[in-house]
Structure 1
Amino acid sequence: MTRFNWLLAAWLAAPGAMAAPLSFDTYLSAVEHNSLELQAQQQSITSAKAGIGIAGLRPDPQFSLGAGREAVRSLPRHPLTWTPALSMTIETGGKRDARIKAAHSNVALAEETVAGFKSALYASSAAAFTEACRTRDVAARKEQTLAALSKVVAANEVRRKAGDVGGIELLQSRVERDQFRAELLQARSDAQGAQLALSPLLGKPLEEVFPQAQLACEVASFDGGATSALLAQALEARSDVRIARAALDNQRDGAALVRANRSVDPTVTLGLSAVRGYHDGVDGNGAPVDGAARSRAVTLTLAVPIALSRRDHGDVVQAEAGVTQAMLALRQAELQAQIQVRAAQLQLHAAQDKLARYRDGVLADAQKVVDGLRLSYFSGNASLLEWLAAQRSADDAWQGYLQARADAAYASAQLQLAIGRRPVL
């Protein structure tokens, strides 16, 4: 175990920090379960599913009731005529089926839209997690450097008493140590802020979901295989392509509904006319008037609208234009998917190559220089400034390595997202 890894492990094992490692996969599952934004987006699916039942409703029947009295002055009584009627509109042209089909495509579009939002949530989670890992390890590296500087100051205090070094050199080492202590404080603050940034994606504080959790920042290598295989997978599973495909289906179903709505709907009315009878009587002049028996008449009426407004085809033109726009948007999404997959693959390879250069050569060489100059300094063969410059150079190399590791992790997540996969780090 290298000195840096040992120090990092010791820093993680500080009081209040002992806990099971929190992997990215565990964190991402918690984000899926707890994200408030994702829960809000999922309500659109619930709303769209309710639309299926609404689409299946048929027109309500209508009941009407009329009453009239005969205006015959010669009759002693004026009987009422009751005319109840029941009307029903009959849908034609497959309107109901078209509505239901369009409602189902609305559900599919809502589901794909939520999946697209989830993909964006994955990207934000990967960025936040890798940044939290990077800033934490930056702080650990600065802890190591501060410990080395403190040892130099302690050694110089002893050497100053022995007369081996002057007071200026001791002061220089103290200044360097104190300046670096300020940098460490900033690095700790950055690490704490990056860890706090993991909470909004969870919809609640991180420590509430994972008490005293420590991030597991090991990055798994991901290549994905040949470019042709990645492109085929992206066109099949990528969220924006699936959204565009669902939008096209939705527009087509909407156009079919528009055409179905152009058919006229007849209305059938079943009515009853009931006239109450009356007995024989006399009129106002005393002349006899014959009575009338009670009578009923059943009527059946068919009303068909005269579809003069159907001569205008503007609604069909608008619907077909929407279909054309959706087709073009799908082609654009497919082209964009291919470009982004190729770009993500190139970025991943570049990031992995950069990381390998740091890991396989730069770090080891920089540390050898620091160790050698430290021994030379204590033996009097190198100056303090030479050792400090070497230490700074080694620190810069470590910062570059940690940034390269974070870049490789995020590039891996981006490529996985580009082909429609749930990212794994």
Structure 2
Amino acid sequence: MKMLYDIAGAAPRLTALALLLPLAFGPGTAGAQTATAAARTPFARYLEAVENHSLDLAAQRETITSAQAGVSIAGVRPDPQLTYGLASKELYTPNKPNAANSMTAGLALTIETGGKRDRRIRAAQSNVRLTEATVESFRRQLFNDAASSFAEACRANQALVRQEDSLQALSDVVRMNERRKKAGDIGGLELAQSRVERDRFTADVTSARAAAQTALINLSVPLGRRYSDLFPEASLDCEFKAYTPAGDPEALVAQALKQRDDVLVAQAALENARDQAQLAHANRWVDPTFNVGISQTPRVNPIYGPEGDVINSPAEKSKTLSLTVTLPIPVSRLQKGELIQAESAVTQAMLTLRSVELKAESDVRATYGQFVAARENVRRYRESVLLDADRVLDGMRQAYRRGAASLLELLNAQRDADDTYLAYLQANADLATATVQLQLSLGLRPTL
């Protein structure tokens, strides 16, 4: 079934309006659209450019790089400590004349216990997954903003085309009235009134042109670059394709709980909180430090006094090996504040996950209802409202030409037809937005 918000596909249904507005699809509109049809930018191409060039998304991706570096940091073991220096030096030489200076060298190594390193690595890895899920959630929101901007640009551009067509039709009425006044069929008041209406519509077209240009400029915001730099053709492909949800609301809810970004973020946050709690328990284990040292004392030669007796303490050189273990006394472990905090974070993450799942279920049902309503509104416009408005306008135009209707009646019919068509374009944009929101609520990449 052709999607009901296919804007370009509405033209065949507006045959009566085309007869009424002979210049509505002239060289300035339909001809230009045909000439640039091959260069139009589809939504999929625009969305791909947003993903590749968005500055905000690029900044978010740097957080993944940082988190990945944290895995390497978490695997670092305690550095060994090297000791070298003077072990002993006799400061009172009369007591021990010719005493030797003793040198020492040592190596201290701290051994981590309780699986601290493995717990740190696991916590860092789960933090990477949490960061990736968060960035993915940001990317989906960026897609939502991009889709809204694209739909609004399509609506503003199509509204401009419609208003330009109406202005052309009113200009034709003015020219016709000028001829009729010369022929004496109408008076100057009716001609002046038609000119006033044409001039008023000229102001509306000027505003519509500015709105369309603004909507086109706003496409640059999600891109991170000027839209015209990436897409010089500037024309948008607004022939959106049909989207049919894969199942009823119950099936969609089940799909969303598996793929939806905020659910995945909450799940990753819970996993990380559990890893952090396990790390907190592991950190309560004390780490012994092993010290290995070597001391060397050079030989002390004897010193003889005047009477030939030894007056110092001679000794042969010596090397000694020492091995000690330093074990902290875990008095600080009597308090359990860090454990309570870690377990509280796990509980909070569990509650958050449940809350997110409930919100996701409600969001899917709400967006599905909005999508169905928007689709029905567009269908009603396409199948009845537009055709009826065109028939009324065509009949009023024919009646005005025969003199059976006043200019005021014709202008009112023109306004009603324009308002109806602009409302139809807004319904198209609403359906495009509802479609993207439903797809994103299911964890899908948006398509139009």
* TM-score normalized by the length of structure 2: 0.92
What does residue 230 of structure 1 align with?
Answer: 252
Matched, 1:49 2:68: yes
Query: 1 CA distance for matches of 2:134 and 2:30?
Result: 40
**Partner residue of 1:374?**
397
How far residue 218 of structure 1 moved from its aligned partner, in angstroms, is: 1.6
Q: Secondary structure at the match of 1:196?
A: helix
In structure 2, C-alpha distance between the alignment counterparts of 1:283 and 1:42, rounded to whole Å: 82
Q: What's 1:294 paired with?
A: 317
Residue of 358, 361, 364 corresponding to 2:381: 358
Supply the distance in 1 between the matched residues of 2:298 and 2:353 (Cα, whole angstroms).
Answer: 69
Matched, 1:303 2:322: no
Paired position in structure 1 for 2:3: none
Aligned to 1:386: 409
**TM alignment of 1:135-150, pairs within 5 A:** 135-150=156-171
For 1:77 and 1:216, locate their aligned partners in 2 and report how far apart those are by CA, in whole Å: 98
How far residue 221 of structure 1 moved from its aligned partner, in angstroms, is 2.2
Q: Is the Cα contact below 8 Å between 2:174 and 2:191 reproduced in 1?
A: yes
- Deviation track 1:274-310 (CA, whole Å, cap 9, x = no partner) reads 1111222225886324631100110000011110111
Which piece of structure 1 moves more, 277-286 or 236-245?
277-286
Q: Post-superposition shift, 1:220?
A: 2.1
What is the number of residues matched between the two proteins? 425
| 1:274 corresponding residue in structure 2 | 296
Q: Letter of the aligned partner of 2:203 in structure 1? A: A
Query: Are 1:8 and 1:137, in contact at CA under 8 Å, matched by a contact in 2?
Result: no
What CA distance in whole angstroms lies between the structure 2 residues aligned with 1:12 and 1:421? 35
Give the distance between the partners of 2:413 and 2:307, measured in 1 at CA. Answer: 135
Alpha-carbon distance in structure 2 between the residues aligned to 1:304 and 1:96: 19
Residues 13, 212 of structure 1: alpha-carbon distance in 2 compared, 3 angstrom cutoff: farther
The match for 2:212 is 191
Aligned to 1:424: 447
Q: Which residue number in structure 2 is paired with residue 26 of structure 1?
A: 45
Task: Give the 5 Å matches for 1:53-202.
Answer: 53-67=72-86, 68-70=88-90, 71-202=92-223
- For the structure 1 residues 25 and 6, does the alpha-carbon distance in structure 2 shift closer, same or farther, using more than 3 Å as the test? farther
2:272 is matched by which residue type in structure 1? N
Aligned-partner Cα distance in 2 for 1:103–1:50: 9
Which consecutive unaligned segments of at least 5 residues does structure 2 have? 1-11
Query: 2:277 aligned to 237, 248, 255, which one?
Result: 255
Structure 1 spans left out of the alignment, 5+ residues = none
CA distance in 2: counterparts of 1:341 and 1:284, whole angstroms = 107
Scaled by the length of structure 1, the TM-score of the pair is 0.96
1:133-186 deviation per Cα after TM superposition (whole angstroms, max 9, x unaligned): 000000000011011101110000000000000000000000000100100000
Q: Which of 55, 63, 74 lines up with 1:36 in the alignment?
A: 55
* Aligned residue type for 2:290: V
2-structure distance, mates of 1:74, 1:366: 121
For residues 272-351 of structure 1, the aligned pairs below 5 Å read 272-283=294-305, 287-288=309-310, 289=312, 291-351=314-374
Once residues 357 and 10 of structure 1 are traced to their aligned partners in structure 2, the CA distance between those partners, rounded to angstroms, is 30
1:271/1:32 Cα in 2 relative to 1: closer, same or farther (>3 Å)? same
- CA deviation vs aligned residue, 1:219-261 (integer Å, no higher than 9, x gap): 2222312112211110001000000000000000000000000
Secondary structure of residue in 2 paired with 1:147:
helix
Structure 2 CA distance for partners of 1:290 and 1:122, relative to 1, 3 Å: closer
State how far apart, in whole Å, the 2-side matches of 1:74 and 1:333 are. 81
Taking the aligned partners of 1:330 and 1:283, their CA distance within structure 2 comes to 89
SS, match of residue 64 in structure 1: strand
Question: What displacement does 1:65 show?
Answer: 1.9
- Native 8 Å contact 1:268 1:302 kept in 2: yes
In 2, Cα distance between the equivalents of 1:9 and 1:296?
A: 103
CA contact (8 A) 2:40 2:233 kept: no
**What's the CA shift for 1:66?**
2.9
- Residues 86 and 269, structure 1, Cα contact 8 Å, conserved in 2: yes
Check whether the contact 2:98–2:301 (CA below 8 A) recurs between aligned residues.
no
Identical-pair percentage: 48
1:214 aligned counterpart, secondary structure: coil
Query: What one-letter code is carried by the residue in structure 2 that aligns with 1:135?
Result: A
Residue 9 to residue 352, structure 1, CA distance change in 2 (3 Å): farther
Greater Cα offset, 213-222 or 371-380: 213-222
Give 2:78's aligned amino acid: P
Give CA deviations for 1:172-205 in whole Å, capped at 9, x if unaligned: 0000001001000000000000000000111110
RMSD: 1.9
CA distance in 2, matches of 1:290, 1:179: 119
Tell me the CA shift for residue 413 of structure 1.
0.4
Q: 1:387 to 1:81 in 2, by over 3 A?
A: same
> Kindly tell me: are residues 54 and 310 of structure 1, through their superposed partners in 2, closer, same or farther at Cα, counting changes over 3 Å?
same
